[in-house]
Amino acid sequence: MAADERRLDAIHLRDLHLRCIIGIFEDERRNLQDVLINITLHADLATAGRTDRIEDTVDYKAIKKRVVALVEASRFFLLEALAERIARTCLEDPRVERVAVTVDKPGALRFARSVAVAIERERG
């Protein structure tokens, strides 16, 4: 049965506040920008629910560490590219079958609290 044909559970990593080089303008290429990242990892968590063993679930701490390292070292022009790379990083974990990523850039536009890009990607 394909991932989209069965019900998957979700792990939410909420409000990762990070700083990176992101943007197309000269000052954005020189100065770190704030980003706010939200990630939903979709996986089958039934075994972990029954066994209560870390070995049977997604290691979301390890994923968070990889995402933080990626973002803090990144120099993307577009939020879309940053979100795509975050999604690919999450899908490196074989238990994650689908991921939703939202990257907000607070203060990116005058009169707007934030601009955000949201994407969903799945294994395969």
Among all residues, which ones are annotated catalytic? 105
Contact between residue 97 and residue 45 where contact means Cβ atoms under 8 Å apart: no
Distance of alpha carbon 103 from alpha carbon 6, whole angstroms:
27
Residue 37 pairs in a beta bridge with 16, 103
The residue among 59, 43, 44 whose CA lies nearest residue 100 is 43
Phi, psi of 2 (to 5 degrees): -70, 160
Residue 56 in tokens: 């049977």
